Structure 1
């Protein structure tokens, strides 16, 4: 049985990987999946960012980037490419960090993931200390499986809970709003109408339980 699973956030500064370098040159935020190290030594990068010709030009001009593919939407684009540059994230993964996502902005990266146990966290930190500018920003214990989830506590469905979580993560509820309904829906892999319906049903259920 796993006694303790910790959610962690690492901040990476001083890394010269293509995505960090691109956000130093262009004022954008890049939301990336964990980079995948291939058997041929290349790194597969899959990420989303605002549709910006300057970003695409910056990546195209980077000699370390190969086979850049861009799929544009009205306000956001999906990118896919290979990189010949080794990624710091692989050092964290090798030490036992289960990386979930990487966010690049202003030349820095925010790595979110999880580790199992304090001993593993210590090992990850020791490995990180040998790399460029990696520091732990936050670590907190994940909810035990024995504890009820918000969907169980508040009588909403797991899909409705996922919509609320995704909306919170991308700033949909922020003032001013930092993400559109379409962007949250894309993150969830559902249609905009499905996202809004689940969100509104969840809000109604929560409000009824709180105020009626």
Structure 2
């Protein structure tokens, strides 16, 4: 039995994925669920972004995107579609990467998940390095309390939980407030609008759980 499970975060550039290409044209952050690879090689995608009508237009024009459906609210646009272009994440899954969250921005993707042991981590890095540019941003052992705790108890995504944690640690919720949303967004390496959208969604989940 292998005792060590590592939480990992990668930054990938050079993957010719429709979502990565779209963020080159439209400066938004796309938060995506793990893509589902079908037996025919096509991929089911489910993702969201801050409101911006340019993004659905760009995706609709992409020949690799089919059956695009967009749900629009004032706070976010939620997308479901089929992609004819498998991205590198499927190759990483094949060698042992357990995907938890993905975010596309500036033409690349940040992927967070877990690997079981350093040998698997090396295999994931080697596999990705064969096709795209990859940078390991963070790696740390999975704690015994990590799989239960805050995110699942309050119905938060990993990206929302991270944003709340970083904002709290930096003093964003203090009175008087000592830092700005721009400061937190810079620390998270996302746009201000993406941070505020995560914050609003996290608050909605928290209040929904509290007040039923």
SS at match of 1:125: helix
Q: Structure 2 CA distance, aligned partners of 1:120 and 1:50? A: 35
CA shift for structure 1 position 176: 2.9
CA contact (8 A) 1:13 1:107 kept: yes
Partner of 1:159 in structure 2? 153
TM superposition shift of 1:165: 7.4
Q: 1:95: which partner in 2?
A: 95
| Higher mean displacement: 54-63 or 119-128 | 119-128
Check 1:150–1:110 CA distance in 2 against 1; reply closer, same or farther (3 A cut).
Answer: closer
Structure 2 distance, partners of 1:23, 1:73, is: 20
The 3 A distance-change label for structure 1 pair 27 and 138 is same
Q: Report whether the alignment pairs 1:169 with 2:187.
A: no
Q: Which one of 184, 192, 196 corresponds to residue 179 of structure 1? A: 196
Q: Is the 1:128–1:135 Cα contact (8 Å) retained in structure 2? A: no
Whether 1:138 aligns to 2:138 is: yes
Contact 1:64-1:84 at 8 Å conserved across structures: yes
Query: What SS class does the counterpart of residue 136 from structure 2 fall into?
Result: strand
Give the SS at the match of 2:85: coil
8 Å contact from structure 1 (residues 5, 115) kept in 2: yes
Question: How far did residue 143 of structure 1 move?
Answer: 0.8
TM-score, normalising length from structure 2? Answer: 0.77
CA contact (8 A) 2:33 2:46 kept: yes
Contact 2:101 2:159 in 1 (8 A): no
- Provide the rounded CA distance (Å) in 1 between the counterparts of 2:32 and 2:130: 23
Gaps of 5+ in 1: 152-157, 199-212
CA contact (8 A) 2:45 2:83 kept: yes
Q: Alpha-carbon deviation of 1:117?
A: 0.6
User: Hey, what's the Cα distance between the residues in 1 that align with 2:92 and 2:7?
Assistant: 14
Structure 2: runs of 5+ lacking an equivalent = 173-178, 182-194
Q: Once superposed, what is the RMSD of the aligned Cα atoms?
A: 2.7
Please say if 1:126 is aligned against 2:126: yes
Count of aligned positions: 185
